[in-house]
Structure 1
Amino acid sequence: MRVLIAAGGTAGHINPALAIAGALRAARPDTEIHFAGRREGMEFGLVTEAGYTFHHIEVNGIQRRLTPKNVVRNLQAVWHLALSGPRAKAILREVQPDLVIGCGGYVSGPVVRCAAKMGIHTAIHEQNAFPGVTNKLLARDVDVVFAAVPAAVEKLGAPDKTLVVGNPVRPEIFAQDRAEARARLAAGDKTVILSFGGSLGARRINEVVADLVAWEQKSRPHTILHLHATGSRGVELFHRLGEEKGFAPGQDLVVSEYIRNMPQLLAAADLVISRAGALTLAELQAAGRAAILIPSPNVAENHQYYNALELQKAGAALVIEEKDLTGEGLIQAVEGLLAEPGKLGVMGKMARAMAEPESLNKITARLLRLVDEGK
């Protein structure tokens, strides 16, 4: 069986795609997996590191804010869009897949649409309650639609072929040994805080985490191990903030650009500070981790905020909207959680109770039936 998966843009699209790829290969070891995406996007590194064949296709989004730079980018986007159909067809002819899966990002559009027109079995997965434009357009043409939550079904517009499966999480998230993960970090009895703002980085999160780290090193020396990912756009900013506020990486602070061993770090963590993307929440639930969630205000229908509220209602997280976010406020939130013994453990158990451990199994079974039976 040959499978082509199209996904790109963010880890929230790419990691579910990698999870599905791994599950298909586990179910059928002779499965040949290929990926399509942008070579300049983060998908190239993640996919090739996982050992899968990568096919380049250039597709970009239209920038709504009109600046001289964005006008140039929009002209390039239109040009790439015009070329994407022939390129998608060339990839499909080369791979000759039995199944094509779209997991989000602009690259999914031309690849999945072209596959459907060629009569190849197709499926898409929508991670959010408010579907992206690409998946809403594709839902009419594909054979199977996977939705993470019931709220997305009607919005996708194809309820008769939509299956609610949750968000697929890599099995290693569930399977990590916490004691071993903490030993690898030499965490000892320290409270481990893991913070990140996404693969590109979020300026405001980097700024307030800098305030938090400065407080930790001054007021809680050697009691907290803080692991922070700046994102690609936050490397220089966080270094500069460290110089300004008087902290530096060392035995109590580990700073990286991007987290490549998320299963291990989630297993070791006591508290996670992050955005509230659909995949992030699914992984927090799978790992059973307490969280302070800072929803991105720059998403359709403010869906990260409403997703995060579900965890707060369940007692698994605290939610701080970015408009209310300050360094002092974040410090107070962390200090309050640490002041109550056992609080983080209870929140983690509440998160774990919300997990969808059968998501990958449901997706895999349905995809194999599509290929085997054609329905």
Structure 2
Amino acid sequence: MRVLIAAGGTAGHINPALAIAGAIKAADPTAEIHFAGRREGMEYGLVTKSGYPFHHIEINGFQRKLTLRNVGRNLVAVYHLALSGPRTAAILREVRPDLVIGCGGYVSGPVVRAAAKKGIKTAIHEQNAFPGVTNKLLAKEVDVVFAASAAAVEKLGAPQKTVVVGNPVRPEILTQDRAAARAKLDAGDRTVILSFGGSLGARRINEVVASLCAWEQKTSQPILHLHATGSRGVKLFQDLAAKEGFTTGRNLVVREYIDNMPEMLAAADLVISRSGALTLAELEAMGRASILIPSPNVAENHQYYNALELQKAGAAVVIEEKDLTGDKLIETVKTLLEQPGRLAAMGKAATTLGNPKSLELIIARLRELMGSDSF
């Protein structure tokens, strides 16, 4: 069986796609799996590193805010859109897939739509509680719709063929040893706070976390704080540390990027982060309390709606960026720490939202779709 998976843009689309690819390969070692995406996107590095054949297609989103720069970007987007039809047709001829799966990002649109029109079996996976435009359009055309959240089912507009499966996570997330992870950090009985704003870094998160770090050290809180600045935040955080008067050391570890996230999540008691679908799926799988700061710069404000699902369950506190200050973050952390057992209870609530059998459900439904017991 040949499978083509289209995904791109962010790790929140690509990592679930890779998890699905791995599950298909585990179910059928003879399966031939290919990926389609942008060569300049994050997907190229992640996919090729995983060893799957990669087929390049260039697709860009349209910018809604009218500026001179965005007019130019939209002209490029129109050009790439015009070329996407022939390029998609070429990929489908080359791969000859029996199944095409879209996992989000602009690239999913033309690839999955063309496959559906050709009568190839198709499926999509929506990672967010508030679906993006691409998947809402594709839901009407594909054979199977996988939704991470029950909140997305009606919004996708195809409830009769939608299955709620959660977000698949990397296997290593589910196999971490918390005690070993904490021992490696010499955490002891300290509360471990893990904070990050993405691989590039989020300026506002770096600013308020700096205020939090200063408070932790001034009040001698029994905390081990692990913070990732992101590539664009390294110098900024150094300057903030000098200004706020705190230093790295036994109680504060600062890195540009966390390359062992499963291990750090295992050690953490509280996570401060954005609320992308991948991050939330891992928080749910691990059972971690969180303070979520949705990015205001994403389509359909989906990070906010993702975060609300955890807050409603008692698993997280949501602070919108427009309301975010250093004092606000300090007060939120202080309140959580002053309530014995609160972080553990939030973590337990998070586990009620995750689905550790997500990949099993996806594979079972794909087997039904393909009419194959061997897959």
Fold shared by both chains (TM-score > 0.5): yes
Aligned partners of 2:273, 2:205: CA distance in 1, in Å? 8
SS in 1 for 2:193: strand
Aligned partners of 2:286, 2:340: CA distance in 1, in Å? 20
Q: Mapping of 1:1-375 within 5 angstroms? A: 1-220=1-220, 223-299=222-298, 302-373=301-372
SS in 1 for 2:124: strand
How many angstroms does 1:232 deviate by? 4.0
Instruction: Please identify runs of 4+ aligned residues in structure 1 that moved more than 6 A.
Output: none
Unaligned runs of 5+ in 2: none
Structure 1 counterpart of 2:346, one-letter code: M
Specify whether residues 217 and 52 from structure 1 end up closer, same or farther in structure 2 by C-alpha distance, changes over 3 A only: farther
How many angstroms does 1:205 deviate by? 1.2
- 1:245-286 CA-to-partner distances (Å, cap 9, x unmatched) read 344544433334444332222111111001223332222111
Specify whether residues 347 and 118 from structure 1 end up closer, same or farther in structure 2 by C-alpha distance, changes over 3 A only: same
Aligned partners of 2:126, 2:156: CA distance in 1, in Å? 9
Aligned partners of 2:247, 2:7: CA distance in 1, in Å? 36
How many angstroms does 1:19 deviate by? 1.5
SS in 1 for 2:371: helix
How many angstroms does 1:300 deviate by? 5.0
Aligned partners of 1:202, 1:191: CA distance in 2, in Å? 24
Q: Which moved more, 1:183-192 or 1:83-92?
A: 183-192
Structure 1 counterpart of 2:23, one-letter code: A
> Is the 1:130–1:300 contact (alpha carbons within 8 Å) kept by the matching residues of 2?
no
Aligned partners of 1:44, 1:248: CA distance in 2, in Å? 37
Aligned partners of 1:91, 1:256: CA distance in 2, in Å? 40
Specify whether residues 137 and 311 from structure 1 end up closer, same or farther in structure 2 by C-alpha distance, changes over 3 A only: closer
Unaligned runs of 5+ in 1: none
CA RMSD of aligned residues (A): 2.3
Q: Which moved more, 1:19-28 or 1:339-348?
A: 339-348
Give the TM-score normalised by the residue count of structure 1: 0.91
Structure 2 counterpart of 1:241, one-letter code: L
How many angstroms does 1:195 deviate by? 1.1
Aligned residues: 373
SS in 2 for 1:255: strand
Structure 2 counterpart of 1:21, one-letter code: A
Aligned partners of 2:316, 2:163: CA distance in 1, in Å? 28
